[in-house]
Amino acid sequence: MGKKSEARAQKKAEAQARFEASKKALLSKVGEMAAPRRAREPMIDSSPRLAPHLERALANERVPKAREDGARFNARMTWCITRADVTDHWSWGEPRAWTGEEWTDTIHPPMSEFAALTWGEIDRQNSGTGHKMHHTHEIGDLIEEAQTRWRRLELEQYDSVFRFRLGGQKRRAWGFIVQAHFHFVWWDREHSLYPTEPH
C-alpha cells in the first residue's frame, strides 16, 4: 500500500471509532430520557368552515321533499316514449320499433288508461291466478341481450325495470320509473325479454 492509501485507511478507521464512541454516548442519553411529550390532539370538526354569508344562505335554504316521501303509490301515473329503444332488431329478428297499427290498437289505448290511475291502483291489478299484472323486475332477471342493451342505452343507473302487461298473455311494455313517471323503453310482443321460453 502507498502512503496516501494508508493515510486514507487510517482516517477512515479513526472516523469509524469516533462514530462508535458517539453512538454509545447517544444511546445512553436516549435511555435516560423521559417519555416524549405528546402534543394535544386537534379537535376534529367534520363540518366545513364557510364564509358567514354562505352559512346564512344554507341556514335559510329549504330542502326539497320527494312527493309522498318517495312513495309513488298515491300519485297519478304519467308516461312518455322519450327513452324508447326503437332502433334495429333483437337477435331473433323481432324489430324493436312498433308499427303504426301496434301503437294505435295495442300500445296507446291501455297506456292511456293507466295514466288515469294512481300507481296504487295499478299495483292492485291482478291476473286471474292472483299474480300482479304490472310489476318490477331486477335487470338481471332479463335475458342477457336485454341486459347488454340496457347498458348500451346508458340506463345502468336503474337496476330495476318495470313491466306493464298490455292485454293478452304475452304483450309487455318494459321501462323504468322516475318518481311517478314511467319511461317506456321496449315494446315486447311475445314476452321475449324475460327468459321463460327459448327463442
pLDDT at position 67: 44
Residue 65's pLDDT band, with cuts at 50, 70 and 90, is very low
Query: Residue 157 is which amino acid?
Result: Q
For the segment 169-188, the average pLDDT, to the nearest whole number, is 95
How many angstroms separate the first and last alpha carbons of the chain?
Answer: 93
For the segment 12-25, the average pLDDT, to the nearest whole number, is 80
CB-based contacts of 87: which residues, under 8 Å, 6+ apart? 96, 97
pLDDT at position 100: 95
The neighbouring-strand residues paired with 162 are 136, 175
Residues 113-134: tens digit of each pLDDT: 999 999 999 999 988 788 899 9
Provide the mean pLDDT of the chain: 83
Give the dihedral sign, CA 188/193/195/199.
Answer: positive
pLDDT at position 68: 43
Q: How far is CA 9 from CA 18, 21, 67, 133, in A?
A: 14, 18, 87, 96
What is residue 125's DSSP assignment? -
Give the dihedral sign, CA 66/72/76/78.
Answer: positive
**Cell of residue 148, nine digits:** 347488454
In whole angstroms, give the CA distance from residue 199 to residue 189. 13
pLDDT at 98 over 60: yes
pLDDT at position 63: 43
Residue 50's pLDDT band, with cuts at 50, 70 and 90, is low
Residue 12's pLDDT band, with cuts at 50, 70 and 90, is confident
pLDDT at position 190: 93
pLDDT at 39 over 60: no
pLDDT at 83 over 90: yes
pLDDT at position 124: 93
Residue 38's pLDDT band, with cuts at 50, 70 and 90, is low
Q: For residues 69 and 135, is the Cβ–Cβ distance under 8 A? A: no
Helix (H, G, I), strand (E, B) or coil at 76: strand
How far is CA 198 from its chain centroid? 31
What are the residue ranges spanned by the domains of the chain? 69-188
Query: Which is it for strands 172-178 and 181-188: parallel, antiparallel or unpaired?
Result: antiparallel
